């Protein structure tokens, strides 16, 4: 694939689009330079300029030599997506609305907590899977993000704190692929971007601290097991197929038993045998939050290596669903805890940034107090099993 990128770029001259080096994984970058007739180690230099130093101007990459810089300027560029607005909440959460090519808007959020900061990253503009409780799904699908647009969210977060300059690129300690979109439906770009998150020449984040969340695209999850070691979260939301078919339509194609089997295979494929899956369960009043649902869930997940993250439903305009009461959440939580599960839950947030949600990118962004969801996701990473 990369050789195509480089050769197209070489033929293209000045009139054609340049290759965006921001989104090339280490392997792709090495291939890019080999295809240009350059030494492989150039990839290391360029990766460090982009992801350690935050440099976008190829002319500033002084250790490349003038001739190579001239060649690169002709065919390549380093182009992050564009921040449209930034919003800081009183509790330190920072949220960006980001414009991507073609008129789309995405959102990413950085949630500091203790010594860590979790960035929630989007993978698509909109989503095609149409889960009944999700406002991203209600928008429909616009397009996949490129690898540059995905890793660009990490780059922009660090840039916005001037943390490249201060040498503190590790301002983002954790990443969750829980923003807009279904990451496994944008497989190649998500994998390339996650490779950069883990790559020491880029962000060097531990594989346990990068989490991909999926609603259950089983064939892609099986493929992921072969190429990635990131942590896995699965959006279950129901203890049986009948209910899950209503909430998460892709369940009709890949039912719960098939999905859990695929998750287990993913965990088994990891070299590190202490991994568990985070089971995400959005609690919706009167729909999936009853004691019987919790009991059924406890039975379903028996012997499944997991921890459970309960997310009280965040309301939005086009939805009739309701958020459950605090009591209903505690009751659900208690059943699972009594059954021996590690369960995290976020009941209230209501901070200022949630109020601002939706104002950032108008109609495009959902109004589901997304940062609350992210915070819950961040919380799941606090509990490191093993």
Question: Please, which of residues 128-187 interact with ligand SAH by CB under 6 A?
Answer: 131, 133-134, 178, 182
Contacts of 362 (CB under 8 A, 6+ apart): 105
Q: Decide whether 22 or 120 has the Cβ nearer to ligand SF4.
A: 120
Q: How far is the CB of 137 from ligand SF4 (least distance, A)?
A: 3
The separation between the first and the last C-alpha atoms of the chain, rounded to the nearest angstrom, is: 38
Residue 169 interaction partner, one of ligand SAH, ligand SF4, none, beta carbon < 5-8 Å per kind: none
Question: Please, which of residues 185-204 interact with ligand SF4 by CB under 6 A?
Answer: none
Residue 58 structure tokens: 């190829």
Q: How many of the chain's residues bind ligand SF4 (CB under 6 A)?
A: 11
Question: Please, which of residues 215-234 interact with ligand SAH by CB under 6 A?
Answer: 215
Among the options 30, 38, 107, 372, which is catalytic? Answer: 107
Question: Please, which of residues 113-172 interact with ligand SF4 by CB under 6 A?
Answer: 127, 129-131, 134, 136-137
Q: How far is the CB of 178 from ligand SAH (least distance, A)?
A: 4
Residue 203 interaction partner, one of ligand SAH, ligand SF4, none, beta carbon < 5-8 Å per kind: none
Question: Please, which of residues 234-293 interact with ligand SF4 by CB under 6 A?
Answer: 235
Question: Please, which of residues 26-85 interact with ligand SAH by CB under 6 A?
Answer: none
- For tokens 């499944």, the residue is 304
What gap in Å lies between CA 263 and CA 236, rounded to an integer? 11
H/E stretch holding 99? strand 94-99
Question: Quick check: is 30 catalytic?
Answer: no
Q: Decide whether 81 or 181 has the Cβ nearer to ligand SF4.
A: 181
Q: How many of the chain's residues bind ligand SAH (CB under 6 A)?
A: 16
350 burial type by CB count under 10 A (0-12 exposed, 13-18 middle, 19+ buried): exposed
What gap in Å lies between CA 333 and CA 310, rounded to an integer? 8
302 burial type by CB count under 10 A (0-12 exposed, 13-18 middle, 19+ buried): exposed
Question: Quick check: is 306 catalytic?
Answer: no
Q: Does 181 bind ligand SF4 (CB under 6 A)?
A: yes
353 burial type by CB count under 10 A (0-12 exposed, 13-18 middle, 19+ buried): buried
Q: How far is the CB of 17 from ligand SAH (least distance, A)?
A: 29
326-338 vs 291-300: helix crossing angle, rounded to 10: 30
Q: How far is the CB of 179 from ligand SAH (least distance, A)?
A: 7
What gap in Å lies between CA 167 and CA 184, rounded to an integer? 33
Residue among 28, 45, 189, 282 that touches ligand SAH (CB under 6 A): 282
Among the options 127, 229, 357, 372, which is catalytic? Answer: 357
Residue 192 structure tokens: 């390339």
Q: How far is the CB of 227 from ligand SAH (least distance, A)?
A: 19
Q: Does 235 bind ligand SAH (CB under 6 A)?
A: yes
H/E stretch holding 214? strand 210-214
Residue 105 interaction partner, one of ligand SAH, ligand SF4, none, beta carbon < 5-8 Å per kind: none
Angle at 307 between CA 220 and CA 351, to 5 degrees: 95
Residue 130 interaction partner, one of ligand SF4, ligand SAH, none, beta carbon < 5-8 Å per kind: ligand SF4
Residue among 280, 288, 306, 343 that touches ligand SAH (CB under 6 A): 280
Residue 289 interaction partner, one of ligand SAH, ligand SF4, none, beta carbon < 5-8 Å per kind: none
Q: Where are the alpha helices (DSSP H) in the chain?
A: 2-12, 26-35, 41-47, 66-75, 135-139, 147-160, 187-198, 218-227, 241-247, 256-268, 291-300, 326-338, 352-356, 370-380
Contacts of 355 (CB under 8 A, 6+ apart): none
Residues that bind ligand SAH (CB under 6 A): 131, 133-134, 178, 182, 213-215, 235, 280, 282, 311, 313-314, 368, 373
Q: Which residues bind ligand SF4 (CB under 6 A)?
A: 127, 129-131, 134, 136-137, 181-182, 215, 235
- Report, as residue numbers or ranges, the catalytic residues: 107, 357
């Amino acid at each position: 694939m990369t050789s195509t990128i480089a050769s197209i770029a070489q033929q293209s001259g000045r009139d054609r689009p340049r290759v965006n080096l921001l989104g090339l994984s280490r392997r792709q970058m090495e291939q890019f330079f080999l295809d240009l007739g350059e030494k492989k180690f150039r990839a290391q230099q360029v990766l460090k300029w982009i992801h350690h130093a935050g440099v976008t101007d190829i002319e500033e990459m002084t250790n490349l030599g003038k001739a190579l810089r001239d060649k690169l300027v002709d065919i390549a560029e380093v182009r992050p997506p564009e921040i449209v607005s930034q919003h800081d909440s009183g509790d330190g959460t920072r949220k960006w609305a980001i414009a991507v090519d073609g008129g789309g808007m995405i959102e990413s959020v950085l949630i500091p907590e203790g010594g860590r900061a979790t960035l929630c990253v989007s993978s698509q503009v909109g989503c095609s899977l149409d889960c009944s409780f999700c406002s991203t799904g209600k928008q429909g699908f616009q397009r996949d993000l490129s690898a540059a647009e995905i890793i660009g969210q990490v780059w922009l977060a660090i840039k916005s704190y001037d943390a490249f300059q201060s040498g503190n690129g590790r301002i983002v300690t954790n990443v969750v692929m829980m923003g807009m979109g279904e990451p496994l439906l944008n497989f190649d770009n998500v994998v390339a971007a996650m490779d950069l998150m883990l790559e020491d020449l880029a962000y060097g984040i531990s594989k346990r601290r990068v989490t991909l969340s999926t609603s259950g695209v089983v064939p892609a999850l099986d493929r992921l097991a072969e190429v990635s070691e990131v942590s896995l979260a699965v959006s279950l939301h129901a203890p049986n197929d009948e209910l899950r078919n209503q909430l998460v339509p892709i369940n009709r194609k890949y039912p719960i038993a098939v999905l859990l089997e695929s998750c287990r295979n993913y965990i088994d494929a990891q070299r590190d045998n202490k991994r568990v899956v985070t089971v995400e369960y959005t609690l919706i009043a009167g729909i999936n939050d009853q004691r019987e649902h919790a009991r059924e869930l406890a039975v379903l997940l028996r012997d499944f290596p997991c921890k459970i993250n309960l997310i009280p439903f965040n309301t939005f305009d086009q939805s009739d669903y309701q958020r459950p009461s605090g009591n209903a959440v505690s009751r659900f939580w208690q059943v699972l805890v009594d059954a021996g599960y590690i369960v995290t839950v976020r009941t209230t947030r209501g901070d200022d940034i949630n109020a601002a949600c939706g104002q950032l990118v108008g109609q495009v962004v959902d109004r589901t107090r997304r940062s609350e969801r992210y915070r819950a996701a961040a919380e799941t990473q606090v509990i490191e099993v093993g």
